[in-house]
C-alpha cells in the first residue's frame, strides 16, 4: 500500500460549495449572496461581528432554514431544500451555539443517540452505538463522566458533549457554532486540542468563532462575514490584516496589536 499523495489544490470537486446563498427574514437579508468552497480535510473558520449571519448560514447548510436564493452543493450535488435529517445522513453534523443536550438522558446516552442515527457510516444498533459513544467520549475527554446526567455537567463539559454527540454521527463535515464561547483561556486550550483531535480523524471542520487565537491557531482558511455578505476570505493572518475587516470587526486596539 503506497502512501497517499499529499493534498494539493487540484481542481477537484469541493466537498461543500455555497453559491450566492441568500436567506431573508422579513425585509432583512440575514445571509446575502454568500459564496465560498470548502475542500475535504480543511479546517475553515467563519468570523464576523454579532448579527453578521453566521449562525443563520449554518442553519441553511444543515437544513434548518430554507434558502431564499442560491444553492448549496455537497460533492457537487445540490442539497438545498433537503430536510435536516437527510443532510445529517449525508454526513454533515453540527453543534448549536446554545447547547441542546437531551436532558433526560445520561452523557453516554446522548453520545449514543448520535451513533444510532447520523451519517450513513453510523446508524448502528443500540449495542454498537454505545461502543461508539464510549470511543467518542474518550476523544472529547468526557469518558470519566459517562454515567452522569446532563444536569451534572459544567458548561465546558456540556459543550464537549455537544461535540461528542455530533462526532458520534460520524460526519464528514462538522459545523461548530461558537464552541469556545464562554470558556476561559485554559478551557479554550483544551477545546482547541479537542477540535484538533476530531480533525485528525479525517473530519472537515467549519467553525464559527469570535476568539481570534483559535482562528489563527488552527484554521487554514478564514471567511469574514458582515451584514450577511462575505467581506474577505483567505489565510487567517492575511484576512485579519485586511483594512475592511479590521474596520468592520476588530477595532483599533486589536489592529494595532497585529501590526509588527
Partner 1 sequence: MIARADTHRRWRRIFLILGVIVGAYALLAPLTSLDIAQSAGVPLLADRLWFRIATFIAMFVVMATAWNIIGGITGYAAFGNVAFFGIGAYTTGMLISKARWPFLAALPVAPVMSTAFATVVGLPLLRLRGHYFAVASLGVGVAVGELVQNVEYRGQPIFGGASGLFLPIYAVDNRGLFFFYLMVLAAAISIAVTWWVLRSRLGYGLIAIRENEEAAAVIGVNTTAYKVAAFALAAALTGLAGGIFSQWNVFINQDNTFPIEYNVQMILMALLGGTGTVFGPAAGAVLLQLLIQFLGGSLPISADIPFVSESARPIVAQVILGVLLVVVVIFVPRGVIDFFGGRTRLSLAYLRRSLRETSL
CB nearer to partner 1: pick between 64 and 143: 64
CB of 146 to partner 1, least distance (A): 16
Tell me if 123 contacts partner 1 by CB under 8 A.
Answer: yes
**Beta-bridge partner residues of 73:** 17, 78
Backbone region of residue 63 per phi and psi (left: phi > 0; alpha: psi in -120 to 50; beta: other values): left
CB nearer to partner 1: pick between 127 and 259: 127
Tell me if 228 contacts partner 1 by CB under 8 A.
Answer: no
Tell me if 14 contacts partner 1 by CB under 8 A.
Answer: no
Residues 98-117 that bind partner 1 (CB under 8 A): 100-105, 109, 112-114, 116-117
Rounded to an integer, what distance in angstroms lies between the CA atom of residue 201 and that of residue 219? 16
Tell me, rounded to whole angstroms, the distance of Cα 216 from its chain centroid.
16
CB of 211 to partner 1, least distance (A): 23
Backbone region of residue 215 per phi and psi (left: phi > 0; alpha: psi in -120 to 50; beta: other values): alpha
CB of 171 to partner 1, least distance (A): 10
Q: Which chain residues interact with partner 1 by CB under 8 A?
A: 62-64, 83-85, 87-89, 93-94, 96, 100-105, 109, 112-114, 116-119, 122-123, 125-126, 165-166, 169
Amino acid at each position: 500500500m503506497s502512501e497517499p499523495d499529499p493534498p494539493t489544490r487540484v481542481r477537484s470537486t469541493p466537498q461543500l460549495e455555497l453559491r450566492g446563498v441568500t436567506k431573508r427574514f422579513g425585509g432583512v437579508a440575514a445571509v446575502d449572496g454568500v459564496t465560498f468552497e470548502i475542500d475535504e480535510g480543511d479546517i475553515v473558520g467563519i468570523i464576523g461581528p454579532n448579527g453578521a449571519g453566521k449562525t443563520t448560514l449554518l442553519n441553511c447548510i444543515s437544513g434548518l432554514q430554507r434558502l431564499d436564493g442560491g444553492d448549496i452543493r455537497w460533492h457537487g450535488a445540490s442539497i438545498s431544500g433537503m430536510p435536516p435529517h437527510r443532510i445529517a445522513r449525508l454526513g454533515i453534523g453540527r453543534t448549536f451555539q446554545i447547547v441542546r443536550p437531551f436532558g433526560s438522558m445520561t452523557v453516554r446516552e446522548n453520545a449514543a443517540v448520535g451513533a444510532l442515527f447520523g451519517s450513513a457510516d453510523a446508524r448502528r444498533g443500540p449495542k454498537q452505538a454505545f461502543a461508539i459513544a464510549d470511543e467518542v467520549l474518550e476523544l472529547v475527554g468526557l469518558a470519566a463522566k459517562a454515567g452522569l446526567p446532563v444536569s451534572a455537567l459544567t458548561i465546558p463539559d456540556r459543550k464537549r458533549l455537544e461535540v461528542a454527540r455530533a462526532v458520534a454521527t460520524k460526519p464528514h463535515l462538522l459545523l461548530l457554532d461558537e464552541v469556545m464561547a464562554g470558556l476561559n483561556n485554559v478551557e479554550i486550550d483544551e477545546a482547541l486540542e479537542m477540535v484538533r483531535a476530531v480533525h485528525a480523524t479525517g473530519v472537515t471542520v467549519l467553525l464559527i468563532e469570535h476568539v481570534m487565537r483559535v482562528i489563527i491557531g488552527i484554521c487554514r482558511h478564514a471567511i469574514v462575514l458582515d451584514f450577511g455578505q462575505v467581506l474577505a476570505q483567505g489565510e487567517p493572518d492575511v484576512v485579519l490584516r485586511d483594512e475592511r475587516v479590521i474596520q468592520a470587526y476588530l477595532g483599533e486596539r486589536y489592529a494595532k496589536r497585529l501590526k509588527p
